[in-house]
Structure 1
Amino acid sequence: MKRLLLLLAAALLLCSCANKSMTRYEALAPALEKDGFDGAIHKVKKEEKDLYGSNSQFLYYFDLGTLHHYNRDFKESALNLDKAEEIYDDLYTRSVTNEAAAVVTNDNVRPYRARPFEIVVLHELQILNYLAMGDVDGAMVEVKRAQLALERLYQKDNEKVNDNGFLRYLCGLVYDLAGESDDAAISYVQAVKAFDEGNIKMPKEVWEFVNENLRRTDRADNLKDLKHEPLAATPTASKARELGQEIIVIGYAGHSPILGELYMSGTFVSGGVMHLNYKDSQTGKISSFTLVAPPVSGGNGETFHIGFSLPEKKTLPQRVKGFDVSVDGQRFSPEKIMDVNAELDKNIKEETPTTITRTAVRVTLRTIAAQQAKKAMKTDNVLLNLVTSLGTDVAQSQLEQADLRIGLFMPNSIYMSRTPVETGVHNVTVKATGMNGGYAGEYTFKDLKVARGQKVFLIIPAIR
């Protein structure tokens, strides 16, 4: 009986850990909606222990850094994102202890390591923090860190595309500002290739600035190696180079998806196949598939009935789909430069087969262990045997919870525009375009001063 109580207690403890993932958004979204970024920041800090806990410290600092960035408190954002990056670096080398615990319990017991696209977003925000503060040297440090992070992602799994056109483009922009023309050219070429491998079409403005840079640095031949028609003229990019000043708008549109649970059930034959069924959340239809089942200790070719949950994308209502910008009366629409929603789709698609296999093996091993535990705890008391059996089954089933952890405040998509301007005072209006027409928000910057050679970055956080 003592062992049974311990097993039940462990199951309840693990359930509470998983609930942090499922309730974090429900707890923080109202604060963001009602009290804005200040309210959300206060809520995150106040309820850190309950909503994040020790295993989600990366997310705690990542969420805080993101919120401070939207709030235009770039220094505080940089400090929090630095802490998130430190945690990620510390966890880069896998912890054997945590991995071993995850084998017999669930993925929630491991410290959260971040999804590849979250690392990309972290470095994009961090570079933009320093650019918004006018600190090119600080931005250069972040560029080096970003490039190292991309290299690590490639080394970890070179069969997956974890590169990102927007991040590479930002690197090129920073190198340009620092006068490092060779490195800028390399980054711009990498940006083009990353866009081609990614999930959004190459932005026309990006291609124009790439053309201008490569021609100006006597690398026009490199354009022939890229999968795009070279431009005959680059009026905006050339004017930006000639004047030296720009107003650069970075628009964050909509709220990125969160994760919900997708329940699967079926059969597992050790060393044979596993056949799983699930309800498609998009169509409502029951779907099924079959995968090879790896051998597990104690399986002996027996058929096991298993059930478990996996993370699936949960799209949030979107009110913003883009932006209209006016600079001194000149109007234009920024282009989408990153699609976080599509990045999550890709990540789930890539990770699901591995997650299914790992989870199915874990559930099967626990099923075998539960059967052995029932035999070991069997007594002459029929009622006690029934309670023991039910308690063991409940505890075993509750051990498996999907890992729903994810950064909560990323944008659904990112837009960017670059406008060359003269030195002096300018008036800028940015309107967030609504999903159903009209405008969902307006951001006005009156009497915006632009000094000689300055690149003014305007952050537009339409996270709705």
Structure 2
Amino acid sequence: MLKSLSMAFLLMVGLSGCAYNSVFVNYPSQIAPYKQQLSSDYPTANINDLADNINGNDGLLYAQESGRIMQVAGDFERSKAYYQQAISAYQAFDDKAIISASKLGSGASSLLLNDNAIPYRGPGYERIMVHQYQALNYLFSGDAQGALVEVRRSNELQSIEQARYQKSQKSVQNMANGTIDAQMAQLSQSTGSVTSSFLNAYSYYITGLLHELANEPNDAFIDYRKAAQITPDNQYLQQDLVRLAKQLAMPQLDEFQQRWGEAVMPSEGQGQVVFIVERSFVPEKQSITVPFPINGNIQSASLATYQPQRQLTTASLIQGLGDNLEAQNIANIDALAINALKEDLPAALFRQAARIYAKYELNQSVQSGSRRANNQVDAGALVMQIFNVISEQADRRSWLTLPRQAQIAKQFIDAGDYDIRLNNSQNVKIEVKPSRTTLIWAIETGNRTRFYSIII
């Protein structure tokens, strides 16, 4: 009995190393210093410390975070390398036809520890955004064809994730639990009109934009329309559809013009400016306690949730182009994250119930052994209680350097040089050329806004 308890402690100590960072130390606290640095003059400080974890249990997640940090800092080549590691990790999950020994080990440890012992696979919306951001890396590195490859993969994944979710829901049985039901209702209030995690208007918009810039207007129209179905009130999307319907002489033109007005077309000598604005950070998961009754006793477990979120309703104001231009919302990434948690809660609840039962049985076994030994190893029961408390950690892992919200704006203006500003940011200079598109990517992280622009 003492030998088995000693092994339990060794397991706890062993799993607290780099390969299992999140088992006993919650993930948001690990990533917090790196998020703070994104508001400083040194956004990539200690990036190697973060990237060193890519070979561990949460390697896919650390690759995503490292790629995003380098991208925010404007190092698109290093970002591309980190994102490729994340993409390879996703592919490795896909390609596993048999259960490896390492996966057996993680499954066994997660049964007695927590879901953080399971290798991080990432929800569908994160995987989609890896390809979207990789496309922007290629684009801002001057490789438009590489960017198109990535956005096509992003589109394909949205369809795959939708089919996977629908299939998984059929196999998940409803489990009655008042605490979970209350959390599901609260989470639903936080997502507004967003009803899934895998349909992302931001990704569809980027795909449509790249198709249009590649002179593929039919493909652009299809993706703009998908984006508009998800975010129907965005006036820039509406104008894109009217303009392309007119350009392609589509039968929907009359309907679109009645709904959204006449198409705005560029005048001679004008170019187009397109703004992508990313704001703040997605929220962190929090932990809640969920009661489970077993044989007349109430056992407690920890599950992840999101606290109610205050909506970001203020439009970003772009100055310096003549009349002020307001960016409009294209996607709430926080709503995608909340929906991803909602979609996983039934399966997480099932795993947690199995874990609570396993811990209960192990605790009963220890107590029984103590009684048979005339209470000489009563410490065994205390050790198991401590072990249960320490190991009971909600899985709070998620990609935390993602933006909370994405907005877009577009305008045709005369060619020339402009001094622009976003909200209260510093002024930056951009150039507009006739019959060309100037794409400006503005990333707000705390009190810092960074601008990247390219003429296409």
- Decide whether aligned partners of structure 1 residues 46 and 461 sit closer, same or farther in structure 2, where only a CA change above 3 A counts: same
Residue 56 of structure 2: which of 41, 54, 57 is its match?
54
Cross-structure match for 1:21: 27
Task: Tell me whether 1:191 sits opposite 2:227 in the alignment.
Answer: yes
Give the corresponding residue for 1:454.
436
Q: SS at 1:347's partner residue?
A: helix
Task: Output the CA distance in 2 between the equivalents of 1:76 and 1:452.
Answer: 33
Aligned twin of 2:37 = 31
Q: What SS class does the counterpart of residue 157 from structure 1 fall into?
A: helix
Equivalent positions of 1:26-425 (< 5 A) are 26-33=32-39, 35-36=40-41, 38-39=42-43, 41-49=44-52, 54-92=56-94, 97=104, 98-158=106-166, 162-195=198-231, 202-221=233-252, 230-235=259-264, 238-239=265-266, 245-268=271-294, 302-313=295-306, 321-376=314-369, 379-382=372-375, 384-423=376-415, 425=416
Report the CA distance shift for 1:399/1:111 in structure 2 as closer, same or farther (over 3 A).
same
Match of 2:179 in 1: none
Deviation at 1:141, TM superposition (A): 0.9
- Give the deviation of 1:161 after TM superposition: 5.5
C-alpha contact (below 8 Å) 2:370/2:378 kept by paired residues:
no
CA distance in 1, matches of 2:310, 2:35: 12
- After the TM superposition, which of the residue ranges 93-102 and 397-406 deviates more from structure 2? 93-102
CA-CA distance at 1:317 after TM superposition: 9.9
CA displacement at 1:124 relative to structure 2 = 2.9
| Local SS of the residue matching 1:147 | helix
2:283 partner letter: P
Q: Which amino acid aligns with 2:211?
A: Y
Contact 2:292 2:353 in 1 (8 A): no
Instruction: Assess, with a 3 A threshold, how the Cα gap between structure 1 residues 352 and 266 changes in structure 2: closer, same or farther.
Output: same
> Residue 52 of structure 1: CA displacement?
6.8
User: Is the Cα–Cα contact under 8 Å of residues 11 and 398 in structure 1 kept in the other structure?
Assistant: no
SS at match of 2:58: helix
Name the CA shift for 1:243/1:387 in 2 (closer, same or farther; >3 Å). Answer: farther
CA contact (8 A) 1:324 1:331 kept: yes
1:161 to 1:347, Cα distance in 2 relative to 1, 3 A: closer
In structure 1, C-alpha distance between the alignment counterparts of 2:346 and 2:159, rounded to whole Å: 24
Percent identity among equivalent residues? 18
Shift of 1:170: 1.6
Secondary structure of 1:429 counterpart: strand
In the TM superposition, what whole-angstrom CA distance separates every residue of 1:310-345 from its partner, at most 9, and x where no partner exists?
112258999995421124433111111111122222
Alpha-carbon deviation of 1:223?
A: 8.1
Q: Do the aligned residues in 2 keep the contact of 1:254 with 1:321 (CA within 8 Å)?
A: no
The alpha-carbon distance between structure 1 residues 135 and 355, as it changes in their structure 2 partners (threshold 3 A), is: same
Could you say which structure has the higher strand fraction? 1
User: What is the alpha-carbon distance in structure 1 between the residues aligned to residue 289 and residue 10 of structure 2?
Assistant: 24
Against the structure 1 CA distance between its residues 130 and 322, is the aligned structure 2 distance closer, same or farther, given a 3 Å change threshold? Answer: farther
Number of equivalenced pairs: 406
Amino acid at match of 1:458: I
Deviates further, 72-81 or 94-103: 94-103
Answer yes or no: is the 8 Å Cα contact 1:92–1:113 preserved in 2. no
Let me know the Cα RMSD of the aligned residues.
Answer: 3.0
Instruction: Provide the rounded CA distance (Å) in 2 between the counterparts of 1:220 and 1:444.
Output: 43
Once the 2 structures are TM-superposed, how far is the Cα of residue 203 of structure 1 from its aligned partner? 0.7
Instruction: Tell me the TM-score normalized by structure 1.
Output: 0.78
Q: Structure 2 CA distance, aligned partners of 1:99 and 1:416? A: 43
Instruction: Give distance in 1, aligned partners of 2:72 and 2:35.
Output: 15
Counterpart of 2:284, as a letter, is I
Corresponding letter in the other structure for 1:368: E
